[in-house]
Amino acid sequence: MNGTPEANLIRRAYWFIRIRWIAAGAVVAITFFATRALHIPIRAPALYAIAGTLAAYNLVFLIHLRRVTAGPEPVPASTVNRTAALQISFDLLALGALVHFSGGVENPFLFYFIFHMIIAGILLTRRAAFLQAALAVSIITAVAVLEYSGAVPHHCLGRYVGRTLHDNALFVTGVSFVLASTIFAAVYMATSISSALREREAALAATNALLVEQDCIKSEYVFRVTHDIKGHLSAIRSCLDPVVEGVTGPVPPEQLNLIDRARRRSDTLLTFVKALLELTRMRLSKEIVMDAFLIEHAVESAVSYVEARAATKSIVVDQAIDDTAGWITGARVYVEETIANLLANSVKYSRDGGRIAIRVTDEGETVLVEIADRGIGIPEDEIPRVFDEFYRATNARAAERDGTGLGLSMARQVVERHGGEIWIESREGRGTTVSMRLPRNPPRGLSVGPALDFQRGEAYHEGSAGRRGVAQSG
Amino acid sequence: MSDKQKILIVDDDPDIVEAMKVVLESRKYDVSVAGSGEEGLALAKSVRPNLIILDVMMETGSKGFEVSRKLNADEDLMKVPILMVTAIKEKTGIGFSHESGDDAWLPVDEYVEKPLKPGELIKKVEALLKKNPA
């Protein structure tokens, strides 16, 4: 979300405000130095007042920016741009006043107008930037003309500058002209560069949108194909089951052996297809329905799903849940399933008599769930890949032929859809710890693509072939 | 179990129909089958089954829902329990009607995902028949 043009704009707006704090401070410091150390007879009180004004309206703009960005809706770019334009205009007026009270056209700080033009060129549209340039030139010209004509008093810089410089028509015209042309040239160059950058940004955003869309089409395709395959698989298994279970009468052992193998393979495939369906559905779903639930309950039921399997390998599952773990908002079915899948992985890749620890830590705004085992671990160079779809670590494949390679992709998908993070620490032969951090209140609008609108998670567990159908969120 | 109880299977996948039929017949149920919604409705009226096993994803993708509503609207059939089976449970975005409370919209008694193991199928069927003695 941080890469959107709006987010960039807001970041720039904050940056702009930070710069102004520095500018206000600099005005105070330079005025102090100029009057106390250099003894330049400038109007210090007026300059301090301008610095104060600068700080005051900066504060107002900061509060305004905080307010508009606090809401849940994205801030329209036009609002940010308008505010930026207003700030630049204020800055130009402040700088004009500053220059006027410190020597007018004699003041070398006159060239600071160019900074503003560069900022305008970056932040604003070309037209708005040129309007700012026109304002800047008008202010400079006004200061020069009014002081030259004597309509406003000239505040002399004292012995540092010739007494009559502001009265010298050639000097005044020359400075004004050079400055004005520099200003327009600066704006022209800055806007040219920034509009080229903006075009590229837009092109990248468009490409990205296209990729997201294509990814969605791909997911839909995968979903449909997988769904179709599942239909055939269901039929295959429906036909094999009664035979293997003897419903149709006794089957000679030699035949039963082969039929049962076929059934088991169809079962494995069905598990895989279900996982793939689940993952694609999750990717295609616009929004997942979230409710508040106790994380403790989710963990407890997840543990109960793997207990039987853990028991067959004499594996102990230790639970340590913070008393304050409390409520989180999320899709309980998915969260529970994710924890159960991670636990199932730990059971699968632990040695007989092993230990698995699940720990839930209250972190205030977030909840940390860690699942640690002392199983076979993951080779170091393969850790970054284990969240990839269909990826299975080499040692995992060697230990267990069956596995979809989708469990961790699913886990990542679930955690990311909740605005959380998931990571793995592992040492081959020593064990693995999977950690997931879930926000108590996931931000809204985490969804990606359009398309199908699924409400609820179909329960999927490796090896249990979706038997957990009736698990319900509270 | 007194007389032979009648079960109607409505599903457009002939292989799944056949498999379920075999399993149920092994338990001495009297099984009739229909391959479409219309056929299913007609058969339900003539056979008067004690239980209907209805597939969701027929033809149009939600024909089963329509059939279940029509069955529920029929005075003679509204009491017949329906076991709804589906290829994908959440594809249509519905949960479990008897738990979500909108029975009027999806009047089924049980909602399960295919494939069902023979043991499960029999258990579900027995439970529904016990709950709704004809």
Which range, A116-125, A157-166, A249-258, B98-107, is most confident? A249-258
Q: What is the pLDDT of residue A474?
A: 28
The arithmetic mean of pLDDT across residues A387-392, rounded, is 86
B22/A247 CB distance under 8 A: yes
Question: What crossing angle do the helices spanning A253-284 and A407-417 adopt, rounded to 10°?
Answer: 20
Residue A103 — pLDDT band, cuts 50, 70, 90? confident
A238/B116 CB distance under 8 A: yes
Which are the contacts of A453, defined by CB distance < 8 A and separation ≥ 6?
A285, A286, A287, B93
* A474 contacts in chain B (CB < 8 Å): none
What would the pLDDT profile of A260-269 be if each residue is shown by its tens digit? Answer: 999 999 988 9
CA A108 vs CA A115, A160, A162: distances in Å: 13, 11, 13
Is pLDDT of A55 > 70?
yes
Q: What is the pLDDT of residue A456?
A: 30
A277/B88 CB distance under 8 A: yes
Q: What is the pLDDT of residue A220?
A: 86
More confident residue, A449 or A435: A435
What would the pLDDT profile of A206-244 be if each residue is shown by its tens digit? Answer: 999 999 889 888 888 888 888 889 889 999 999 999 999
* A233 contacts in chain B (CB < 8 Å): 115
Tokens of A12: 């720039």
Closest Cβ–Cβ partner in B22, B57, B93 for A454: B93
Residue A379 — pLDDT band, cuts 50, 70, 90? very high
B18 CB near a chain A CB, below 8 Å? yes
Low-confidence ranges of chain B (pLDDT < 50): 1, 91-104
B93/A472 CB distance under 8 A: no
Tokens of A82: 């308008």
Best of B84, B89, B100, B110 to disrupt the A interface (most A CBs within 10 Å) is B89
A242 CB near a chain B CB, below 8 Å? yes
Residues A418 and A335 sit within 8 Å (Cβ to Cβ): yes
B113/A227 CB distance under 8 A: no
Minimum distance, in Å, between the CA of residue B112 and any CA atom of chain A: 7
A234/B87 CB distance under 8 A: yes
- CATH class of the domain defined by A285-474: alpha beta
> If you search the block for the tokens 């741009």, which residue do you land on?
A81
What's the CA dihedral at A138, A144, A149, A154 to 10 degrees?
130
Is pLDDT of A469 > 70?
no
Residues A334 and B90 sit within 8 Å (Cβ to Cβ): no
The arithmetic mean of pLDDT across residues A453-461, rounded, is 32
Average model confidence (pLDDT) across chain A:
84
Tokens of A374: 């002392």
Judged by average pLDDT, the poorest of A30-44, A141-155, A163-177, B17-31 is: A163-177
Minimum distance, in Å, between the CA of residue A238 and any CA atom of chain B: 6
CATH 3.30.565.10 domain position(s) in chain A: 285-474
Q: What is the pLDDT of residue A372?
A: 95
Tokens of A201: 């940004």
> If you search the block for the tokens 């609008």, which residue do you land on?
A445
Residue A123 — pLDDT band, cuts 50, 70, 90? confident
Distance CA A465, CA A263 (A): 13
Domains for chain B: give ranges and CATH numbers. Answer: 6-129 (3.40.50.2300)
Angle at A95 between CA A90 and CA A99, to 5 degrees: 150
CA A100 vs CA A106, A144, A164: distances in Å: 9, 9, 15
Chains A, B: CB contacts within 8 A come to 78
A228 CB near a chain B CB, below 8 Å? no
Best of A222, A241, A278, A460 to disrupt the B interface (most B CBs within 10 Å) is A241
Closest Cβ–Cβ partner in B15, B87, B93 for A239: B15
More confident residue, A150 or B108: A150
The arithmetic mean of pLDDT across residues A390-400, rounded, is 85
Percent of chain A with pLDDT strictly greater than 70: 91
What would the pLDDT profile of A241-289 be if each residue is shown by its tens digit? Answer: 999 999 888 999 999 999 999 999 998 899 888 888 888 887 787 777 7
Distance CA A375, CA B104 (A): 51
> Among A211, A327, A277, A207, which Cα is nearest to A457's?
A277
> Cis before residue B115, ω within 30 degrees of 0?
yes
Q: What is the pLDDT of residue B133?
A: 64
Judged by average pLDDT, the poorest of A47-51, A306-310, A330-334, A412-416 is: A330-334
Q: What is the pLDDT of residue A69?
A: 79
More confident residue, A136 or A332: A136
What would the pLDDT profile of A353-374 be if each residue is shown by its tens digit? Answer: 999 999 999 999 999 999 999 9
User: Pairing mode, if any, of strands A366-373 and A327-330?
Assistant: unpaired
How many Cα atoms occupy the beta-carbon half-sphere of A244 within 13 Å? 19
* A471 contacts in chain B (CB < 8 Å): none
Residue B20: closest C-alpha in chain A: A238
Residue B89: closest C-alpha in chain A: A458
Residues A390 and A280 sit within 8 Å (Cβ to Cβ): no
B127 CB near a chain A CB, below 8 Å? no
How many Cα atoms occupy the beta-carbon half-sphere of A126 within 13 Å? 11
B1 CB near a chain A CB, below 8 Å? no
Q: What is the pLDDT of residue A212?
A: 87
Residue A452: closest C-alpha in chain B: B91
The arithmetic mean of pLDDT across residues A174-178, rounded, is 89
Phi then psi for residue A264, to 5 deg, are -65, -40
B61 CB near a chain A CB, below 8 Å? no
B24 CB near a chain A CB, below 8 Å? no
The answer to ipTM > 0.85 is no
Best of B96, B100, B117 to disrupt the A interface (most A CBs within 10 Å) is B117
H helices present in chain B, as ranges? 14-26, 37-47, 63-73, 97-100, 118-131
Distance CA A247, CA B28 (A): 12
